[in-house]
Amino acid sequence: MTERNSSGMTTGAKIAAALVLAVLVAGAGYWAGQRSAGGEVSAAADPAAKAERKVLYYRNPMGLADTSPTPKKDPMGMDYLPVYADEETGGGAAPGQIGIDPQKIQKLGVRTEAAARRMLDKVIRAAGRIEADERRQYTVAPKFEGYVERLYVSATGQPVAKGQPLFEVYSAELISAQREYASALQGVESLKQSGGEAQVGMRQLAEASLARLKNWDISEEQLRVLAKSGEVRRTLTFRSPASGLVTEKKTVQGMRFMPGEVLYQIADLSAVWVIADVFEQDLALVKPGAKARVTFGAYPGKVFEGRIAYVYPTLNAETRTVPIRIELNNPGLLLKPGMFAQVELAAVAKGQVVTVPLSSVIDSGTRQIVLIQAGEGRFEPREVKLGARSDTYVEVVSGVAEGETVVVAANFLIDAESNLKAALGGFGQASAGTPKSVAAAVGHKASGQVEAVDAKAGTASISHGPVESLKWPAMTMEFKVANPALLGELKPGTVVAFEFVERGPGEWLITGVSPAANSHAGH
């Protein structure tokens, strides 16, 4: 007998209905799962997926070589764009590394070199000028009033020897002082036998007269003649205090001069100074006593050897340089004051240190980065602290160990994500290991209104709408054009659609222009 319930359905029928309902639910779940696998992600799963993505750093939205570990805005108010680990990682690269298809590395021109210990021998170059040795300059200035009676040296630049007569002068004061001294000597002689206070007083008068003449630079020879003969000379001869050249002559025959007036200047140029200006950043490497090589345009191939005698204590705020003094012998008087010089200084090395090529360092202004080769097609950005520099290498104080391989060429392309994408995209389609966005980000499209055109500079200012491929908002910016013909299609006030690429860091180049689909494109 078949059992029925109150609804009239048998027990077997109920079981069959339950089985059918279970199959339908399972099928619906399978269908929903297949749709989700095909690209549709549920609202509940999407936040979880995003939460799992790791942000490596934030890059400049304009493609400049500037990154930040935290979110920030650029000077135009645009947000820095996040770079995720799953975007940067490729070819087996670990999180925090940059992966590049090994087939593309050669096309990018990537070159590497191992960090090694070496002596940082640096040659500091500076511009200089010849100046006369201040310790070898002499001035002839009489200390009394008088007149120039006769000139023996009458031309600037004339060589003179020490003790050579320069000019003769007449002075009433000089004649009076000579007579006073001669009279005092005669008085001393006449009172020689008497003794007493009179003789002492006369001797003191003679000594005072003699001191007065000496203070006026009267030579010992002339004083001896005066003391011996008692004859007062009408004129006095001034002689050169040193051997050298007359660099300045301010007297003519017959002129009157006053006490202290400079009549001649004489310089001994057998040795000269080279005053060279060393840049502030090289100052720590410059030490007194270090050797210097000096060359002059007037004497090609001739090298003058000298040493740094003094480093001046002041800095020129305008040129950011510090003067140093090099002393040079001047045989044959080849070197003339005022000549320009090229100076090479051997910097003092502090021993062997870990170094990398200068080209391997990416300097953002706030930190220095090098790219370490972590394996085939894998590169790791590493922050470093730098020390002394040579012309081609720089000391690494921390961040890189001896033997680690660093990128020395194309490192900028690797570091700047937008530049890297443009470079890789130019070689054709991306490989399976290259993100899709890399191959598609070479050219960009936008539309907007032309604000201004500079035909001479080959630039156009365009107020354009958002650029999805670069995640740019609407803004006004300046573009360069690939050729002058494009300027004919860019008229101020017109609305155009255009294509552009990044030719260099922050330099955007229009490659194509066409009329916009409607007059409000980009607005």
Q: Return d(Cα 482, Cα 253) in angstroms, integer.
A: 76
Task: Name the DSSP class of 283.
Answer: G
- 123-133+268-346 shares the fold of 58-120+349-436: no
pLDDT of residue 73: 84
pLDDT of residue 367: 79
Query: First vs last Cα of the chain: how many Å apart?
Result: 81
Strand partners, 267: 137, 245
Kindly report whether the global pTM for this prediction surpasses the value 0.85: no
Pairing assessment for the beta strands 321-329 and 303-311 based on DSSP bridges: antiparallel
CA 379 to chain centre: 29
Q: Return d(Cα 481, Cα 487) in angstroms, integer.
A: 7
| Structural Rg of the chain based on CA atoms | 45
Q: Return d(Cα 69, Cα 96) in angstroms, integer.
A: 12
Edge-to-edge strands, sheet with 81-84: 67-68, 55-59, 81-84
For residue 435, what is the enclosing H or E element?
none
CA 353 to chain centre: 23
Full DSSP string of 464-490:
E--BTTTTB-SEEEEEEESSGGGGGG-
pLDDT of residue 155: 93
pLDDT of residue 211: 85
Structural contact between residues 167 and 152, judged by C-beta atoms closer than 8 angstroms: yes
Structurally, at CATH architecture level, domain 443-515 sits in Beta Barrel (2.40)
CA 399 to chain centre: 24
Residue ranges per domain, the chain? 58-120+349-436, 123-133+268-346, 142-261, 443-515
pLDDT of residue 214: 82
- Report the b/e string of 26-39 with b at 16+ CB within 10 A: eeeeeeeeeeeeee
Token pair for 350 = 């502090």
- Crossing angle of helices 172-190 and 220-229, rounded to 10°: 50
Structural contact between residues 384 and 399, judged by C-beta atoms closer than 8 angstroms: yes
Q: Which CATH number is 123-133+268-346's, of 3.90.76.10, 1.10.1140.10, 2.40.30.170, 4.10.520.10?
A: 2.40.30.170
Contacts of 94 (CB under 8 A, 6+ apart): 374, 378
State the fold for domain 58-120+349-436: 2.40.420
The pLDDT averaged over each successive group of 10 residues in the chain (523 residues) is: 45 45 42 42 44 72 70 81 61 61 69 87 88 93 92 93 92 85 79 71 82 81 77 85 92 93 94 94 87 93 93 93 94 92 82 88 80 82 85 88 86 51 38 36 80 90 90 90 82 91 79 74 43
pLDDT of residue 52: 66
